[in-house]
Amino acid sequence: MHATLPLLVKTDFPALHRRSVEILQVNLGYRCNQSCLHCHVNAGPQRKEEMTRETIDALIAFIASSPEVKILDLTGGAPELNPHFRHLVVAARARGLKVIDRCNLTILEEPGHEDLADFLAAHRVEIVASLPCYLEENVDKQRGKGTFTASIKGLQRLNALGYGTPGNDLLLNLVFNPQGPTLPPPQEPLEAAYKAHLLQDYGIVFNQLFTLTNMPIQRFGSMLVSKGQFNSYMQLLRTAHREENLQHVMCRNLLSVDWQGYLYDCDFNQQLRLPISGLGRPRLHLSELNAEQLDGNAIRVAEHCYGCTAGQGSSCGGALGDETVAAPTCAA
């Protein structure tokens, strides 16, 4: 069990219930070509867990029986490292789903993946790419030396294919995470700063910037504990809680699937091993039901949920509301 779980389970976070599942977020495995400091999955090159073809076929059957699901959101690790990634993308697109690839950009420069960008463009896959700053020093500090240069090359390759360019339906969105135990700055002005810097310095364009709050779990949570900052960070999240964000948190219409096919209310609960239960079972597998059967289900909450409601709020699609109290910079 994760080291920070006992610190998170006891909570007074408000009760929540599910709406209809529109987004299926699938973790294809924890293997990654990077080991980022903020990673809530603890992904890295040495991780072996990955979704099998059998489980992917069960996933496709789940989609077929769940017409309310409109979006397939693929994550990891680096989801593209799963050997069945392309099969799943083709199958989901054939069923009319929007497909999102949560790409770390550097995978586009890895040997054996030279045609990955072309594949994504050919199948009109939306890319949500992590770039925690527009400054090389900050990115390399968080994600490893040389990461920024590889990320810029990846973005330029995607732009050359039409991603993020005006009038094109190939969407390219970037993701910002704070460097340390702070809340993200306001999303809209930070997006403007990103666009100005990346265009001026590298000729790069993109559609939107998503600001995400770092969750106090896995690698980031362990870092907080080791530095004696866990309690102060949790207090920051609790103090900044905004009730209005509860209506828009992602767990209301998103279903998270782990690499083995078990179901969770969100990717963070997945990493804390807090599965959805029901049907007389302590955890549910996607082969046992369809999405409609989860409508109205109680959502498992814990202290980390305050990370989604703090300040402007945080979701896989970025901020949930407006916030104007911080400087629009990624340089902190």
pLDDT at residue 172 is higher than 70: yes
Number of Cβ within a 10 Å radius of residue 7? 19
Task: Supply the pLDDT for residue 39.
Answer: 56
Instruction: Give the number of domains in the chain.
Output: 1
Residue 327, in any domain of the structure? no
Q: Kindly report each contact of residues 138-143 with a partner whose C-beta sits within 8 Å and lies 24 or more positions away, as own/partner.
A: 138/179, 138/330, 138/331, 141/37, 141/179, 142/36, 142/37, 142/38, 142/177, 142/179, 143/34, 143/36, 143/37, 143/104
Is pLDDT above 90 for 146?
no
Do the domain assignments include residue 314? no
Cα–Cα distances (Å) from 74 to 51, 84, 98, 123, 240, in that order, read 12, 12, 11, 14, 30
We report the CATH number of the domain holding residue 220 as: 3.20.20
Domain contains 325 = no
Q: Which domain holds residue 115?
A: 5-309
**Cis peptide leading into 77, omega within 30 of 0?**
yes
pTM above 0.85, yes or no: yes
pLDDT confidence tier of residue 153, bands split at 50, 70 and 90? very high
Residue 315 lies in a domain: no
pLDDT digits (tens, 9 = 90+) for 5-47: 566 778 999 999 999 999 999 999 988 866 555 555 666 667 8
Instruction: Tell me, yes or no, whether 323 lies in a domain.
Output: no
Assess if residue 332 is contained within a domain: no
pLDDT at residue 91 above 80?
yes
> According to the model, what pLDDT value does residue 142 have?
73
Quick one: pLDDT at residue 33? 67
What is the percentage of the chain residues whose pLDDT exceeds 90? 72
pLDDT tens digits for range 298-325: 999 999 999 999 999 999 899 997 765 5
Average pLDDT, the chain: 90
pLDDT over 50 (residue 1): no
Residue 75 lies in a domain: yes
**Is residue 271, in this structure, part of any structural domain at all?**
yes
Question: Please, which pLDDT band fits residue 105 given cuts at 50, 70 and 90?
Answer: very high
What confidence score (pLDDT) does residue 268 get? 92
pLDDT at 6: 61
